[in-house]
Structure formats: structure tokens, C-alpha cells
Amino acid sequence: MATIIRGLLKGYHYMNTEIADPRVQDWFLMGSPWPGLALLTFYLYFVQSLGPRLMKDRKPFNLDRLMQIYNIVQIILSGYLLYKALVLAWLWDYSLYCEPVDYSDDPKAVEIAGTVWIYFIVKVIDLLDTVFFVLRKKSNQISFLHVYHHTGMVIGSWAGVKYLPGGHGTFLGLVNSFVHVVMYGHYFATSMKISRPWWKKYITQLQLIQFVLILVHFSQLAWIEDCGFPRWPALIFVPQNLFMIVLFGDFYYKTYVRKSKGKAVATNGVSNGIAKATSNGKPAAPKTD
């Protein structure tokens, strides 16, 4: 038993210290995985159990003003991350095929690592999306896809800061930040009553394109000659993004394709009924029970 415990402690030290980036060890939530795991545990407990129980006999909170402010903050943060990712890396310096992480103390390398950390903090802030659903009693929007996606993004971005704060993996942050500018822009427009329902369809399409781009980008690591960026992230992000494509694709089909077919069938049925009634010389009237 003592041997097992020593082995576990040695493995923990290896994962948390030896292979971690020493530059980020003192940054908020980066010293060890436990604070982040505690936060995620409480998040899951609140949205799945505690929150719904607290709201069971209460009226939904009116959070319109708070959510407008929240959406604006998210647009600003995501826009800032998009700008930094372009200026610091992807416009000029980074290769789309494979880019190693610069672990040096060069000011630009440290700034890139800091930007990755801010991206992680934004993913933590994103958890408020679900909290707002609970407080507004929008339980139908707290799907497995929603909770899984938010939880996975926090875990993945934390690991990104801890082990790979820069290089090839930051393409994910670049694309995702752009998507979030559009998405939270839509949420803000909706809260201001200036949105249109058909926008949602194209935002889901944009999210699917995002997962395809990230899938292709990480897949390159499997066949490109070693450039200094490890291949193991591909083993995580390739199946992960395939899974997200399946989940979002299923959501898109059920929400926009199947419903459209149902409406088309219903419309054709009504049209055929009207035509039949008209051909019999009878006026068409809605059926009443």
C-alpha cells in the first residue's frame, strides 16, 4: 500500500511540476489542479442539483440587464483574445502546419503564455451561461451537450496553460474566440430585441465549421515531421472534435432540418386539404374538436 501511495505521489509531482511550464506555476488557478476541479465540481453540482432545487418554488429571476452587461464583457474579452492571437502569432509568425511552444523568458513568449491563461479564465467565466439558465429556470437549455462542452473547455484550456501555453494549440483559441464574438454578439442583440430567429441556424453552422477546422489542424500532427510540438494533443483533440461534430450535428439536424421537414409536410398537408375541399366545391375551414 505504501508503495502504491509513493507511486501516486511521484506521478502527481511529475504531472504537476516536472513536465509543467514553470513560468505559469504561480498564476491564478495554475499551481495545482485541485482548485479548478473543486470549481467544476461545484458547477456541476449547482446546475444539476442544488440550483434547480433552490429555484423549484421561486419565480425566474429577471436578469436582462445583467446578461446584457455579461454579453458585452464576453464580446470585449473574446475580441481582445482574437486580436492578441492574430498580432502575436497567427498573422505573421506562426505556421499553420506545425508550431512549437516557446518556453523561454522572451517577453513575447511570456505574453503569449499570458494570453493563453486569459483564454482559460474566459472559459471559467463562460460557466455563468449555465448558472443564468438555472436562475432563469431555462432547464430545457441545460443539455448534456451544453454542460459537457463548457466543462471540457475549462479542463482543456487549463491543461493548455499548464503544459502548452503557445504554439500549435493556440489555433483553437483563435477560432473559438472569433466564434464567441459572433455568438455573444447574437446573444446581446437578442437581449436588445434586435435579433432574428434565423440567425441561430447560421451560428450553429459556424460552430460546426469551427470544430472541423480544429479537427483538421490537430490531425496534421499525425503526419507532419516533428517540429517541436508534441503529437499527444492530437490523440485528445481529434476524437474530441469528432465527438463535438456528432453532438452539434445531431442538434442541428433535430433543430433545423427535421423541424423544417415537419413544417413542410404539415404545410403540404394543409395545402392538399384546401385543394381537395375547393375541388369539391366546399369552403376550406379549420378542423375543430
Pairwise CA distance, residues 97 & 264, whole Å: 45
Burial of 240 (C-beta count, 10 Å sphere; 0-12/13-18/19+): middle
Which segments of 33-76 are extended strands (E)? none
Catalytic residues: 149
Q: How far apart are CA 127 and CA 134, in angstroms?
A: 11
60 secondary structure, DSSP code: P
Q: How many beta carbons lie within 10 A of that of residue 162, not counting itself? A: 25
Distance CA 133, CA 140 (A): 9
The answer to whether the CB of 208 falls within 8 A of the CB of 248 is yes
